[in-house]
Chain A
Amino acid sequence: MSALDWTVLFGTLGGIVAYGLWRTRGPTDAAAYLHGGYRDRWLTIGLAVMATQASAITFLSLPGQAYQDGMRFVQFYFGLPIAMVVLSVAFIPRFYRLRVQTAYELLETRFDLKTRQLAALLFLLQRGLSAGITIYAPAIVLSRVLGWSLNGTSVIIGGLVILYTVAGGTRAVSQTQKHQMVVMLGGMVVAFVVIVHRLPPGLSLGHAVSLAGALGKMNVVDLSPDLGNRYTLWSGLVGGCFLAMSYFGTDQSQVQRYLSGRSVTESRLGLLFNGLLKVPMQALILFVGVMVFVFYQFNAPPLSFNESELQRAYRTSRGGELRDLEAAHRAAFERQRVAVQEFTAALDGGDAAAIDAVRTRVRAAAAKVAEVRGQARVLVRQALPRAESGDADYIFLSFVMANLPRGVIGLLLAVILCAAMSSTASELTALGGCTVVDFYRRRYRPNESDAHYVRVARLATGAWGVLAVVFAACASMVDNLIQAVNILGSLFYGTILGIFLAAFFARRLRATPVFVAALLSELLVVALWLGTNIGFLWFNLIGCAAVLLLSSVLTASGLGAPPAASRRTDERNR
């Protein structure tokens, strides 16, 4: 990397963090440390909510996802705006009315302590594991740029985020996130402009989109009703809505963001701002990936974008076979390049019949290239059984490092690291806050001083950070990071959402039936995940519906009902 890139990278990161720490300097009380002091305006909340969700994985993995699978992942976000409206109407007023500090506190008011702590535990479990993946993702970036070991880089990045989060708490997180989000949005717009500029001269944006469409990458909406299909309009609207309701309504890393608002109005507007911008923002990031794909129709891509594993595989006994595949890949790519040039020429000619004829040839040539790349992936896996054979998460970074101009490389690395810092910081403060508020203070030490809780919150935040770094060391076992995070969330969120919906909308349901139903529903979701091929977004709906259904049946069967004598006394007293 050039000196200009390093200057842009560290100037951006250092400037934002220094600003955040300067804005929150001075002694910190528990309210400010854990909840930001309840001072934020809607724009700060909206940007912080977006920055919390947009992790480094978003910028590393999403363009790679689009490169391999097209635009269809955008459907995953279609349920989000609906969820933002539901949360604004139904969740935020209840959180404010009950004056809660964590989402789970509300469950004790409605049900009992064990239900509150079950929901909090499920959050700690899934968010603690996800935090590992959000640290691992930027570690890929720096280990590649600096040539360090991946695990060593995870430790260094995790350590820096822990220091910054432990020092600043929630207030510093909110203050830095809005600037980090501006860098992320600006950086992706710059990336898009530069990538389009790097396409071959004479290839208009319209032709680039047509070419991407011919090769199946503009599959934005899929109307098929197949439950096994991960991304369709229906799974996005229904499953995505339930996932978003659960994530934004019951995950403390998000609830903490909008409960830091100065009023209900500010919190609602912050969430709705997210609802308005999220789909276009994700579509832009995916479209950047599609444009990278178009770029590599004219410029030979490597056999695998995960070059370090590819080089290791060359040094094994299967290296000869891999070299043969490399030659086959070059030949297949050349045939594809010819077909692509014929296709763009046909587009220029405007003859529909000619375009259709060439489109078939382009697709056949692209299928051959994909087949050779698939064979290479299998071969790498056979040569190095413990290695990461997938390369989706490396595509965008490889492209950036090899093809973008000086300065822009530094800016895009800053985007990725801003995203990593913002999401990890939210996760760690929420994990620390939940540990203190829902467990430590509630169960063990309810009457300590303000300074004591700040000290314990710092310790808890730091401990969760260390645990996240340990989980990060295991994250290389997953093939696609963004899918891994969302699958992990979907395994837990449906159950948690079911508990909250039971609390809000089913007054006759009792605490013990809801608690037992939540445990059974979680087992059901995990069993379905292990034993079926149902698309993961549906687990959000299944977990939620199972909690509501089972708790209704268990309540009707009399589980957890007070003894008959006590019921008669209650009735007389009414």
Chain B
Amino acid sequence: MAADARDGDGARGATRGEMDAAPPFLTWRAIYAVVLGALAAEIAAGIALSSLLS
């Protein structure tokens, strides 16, 4: 089972080049910045809501 499970797909045991490949729309750094930027905005909104409404 081990062989067919692991080798049945080209992505298993991917090379460094494949692993660093960015998606077609943005670089990885830009995608990480979007995710973390959204979190920062949510926390800022939460702090504002908490101080305004309590």
A and B found bound together: yes
User: Residue B23 contacts which of A74, A265, A280 (CB distance < 8 angstroms)?
Assistant: A265
A82, B2: Cα distance in complex, Å: 33
- Which B residues are CB-close (under 8 A) to A221? 43, 46-47, 49-50
Give residues of chain B (1-32) contacting chain A, Cβ–Cβ below 8 Å. 1-2, 4-6, 8-14, 18-19, 21-23, 28, 31-32
Count B interface residues, CB 8 Å.
35
User: Residue B39 contacts which of A29, A34, A81 (CB distance < 8 angstroms)?
Assistant: A81
Give residues of chain A (90-104) contacting chain B, Cβ–Cβ below 8 Å. 93, 96-97, 99, 101
- Inter-chain contact B50/A265, CB cutoff 8 Å: no
A449, B28: Cα distance in complex, Å: 41
- Inter-chain contact B12/A81, CB cutoff 8 Å: no
A283, B42: Cα distance in complex, Å: 10
Interface of B, secondary structure class, is: helix
- Inter-chain contact A38/B50, CB cutoff 8 Å: no
Assuming the A-B contacts A30-B1, A85-B32, A441-B1, are A223 and B9 also in contact, with contact meaning beta carbons closer than 8 angstroms in the complex? no
Q: Is A189 an interface residue (CB 8 A)?
A: no
- Inter-chain contact A82/B36, CB cutoff 8 Å: yes
- Which B residues are CB-close (under 8 A) to A275? 35, 39
Which stretch (A127-135, A212-220, A386-394) binds chain B?
Answer: A212-220
User: Residue B38 contacts which of A39, A81, A263, A453 (CB distance < 8 angstroms)?
Assistant: A81
- Which A residues are CB-close (under 8 A) to B36? 81-82, 85
- Inter-chain contact B39/A263, CB cutoff 8 Å: no
Q: Is A264 an interface residue (CB 8 A)?
A: yes
- Which B residues are CB-close (under 8 A) to A302? none
- Which A residues are CB-close (under 8 A) to B13? 96-97, 99
- Inter-chain contact A264/B18, CB cutoff 8 Å: yes
Q: Is A210 an interface residue (CB 8 A)?
A: yes
Q: Is A84 an interface residue (CB 8 A)?
A: yes
Assuming the A-B contacts A35-B5, A78-B43, A263-B14, are A213 and B54 also in contact, with contact meaning beta carbons closer than 8 angstroms in the complex? yes
Assuming the A-B contacts A218-B50, A262-B11, A264-B11, are A280 and B42 also in contact, with contact meaning beta carbons closer than 8 angstroms in the complex? yes
Kindly report which residue of chain B lies nearest to residue A237, judged by CB atoms. Answer: B43
- Which A residues are CB-close (under 8 A) to B9? 37-39, 262
- Inter-chain contact B6/A216, CB cutoff 8 Å: no
A38, B10: Cα distance in complex, Å: 9
Cβ contacts A to B, 24 pairs, < 8 Å: A30-B4, A31-B8, A74-B46, A81-B36, A96-B11, A99-B12, A209-B53, A218-B50, A218-B54, A220-B50, A221-B46, A221-B49, A222-B50, A233-B43, A262-B9, A263-B10, A263-B11, A263-B18, A264-B14, A269-B23, A272-B31, A276-B38, A279-B42, A453-B1
Using a CB–CB distance below 8 Å, which chain A residues touch chain B?
29-31, 34-35, 37-39, 71, 74-75, 78, 81-82, 84-85, 88-89, 93, 96-97, 99, 101, 209-210, 212-214, 216, 218-223, 233, 261-265, 268-269, 272, 275-276, 279-280, 283, 441, 448-450, 453
Using a CB–CB distance below 8 Å, which chain B residues touch chain A?
1-2, 4-6, 8-14, 18-19, 21-23, 28, 31-32, 34-36, 38-39, 42-43, 45-47, 49-50, 52-54
- Per CB-CB distance, the 6 closest pairs between chain A and chain B, nearest first, are A213-B53, A220-B46, A38-B9, A31-B5, A221-B46, A263-B11
Known: A39-B9, A71-B46, A449-B1. 6 other contacts (CB 8 A): A81-B39, A82-B36, A82-B39, A101-B6, A216-B54, A222-B50
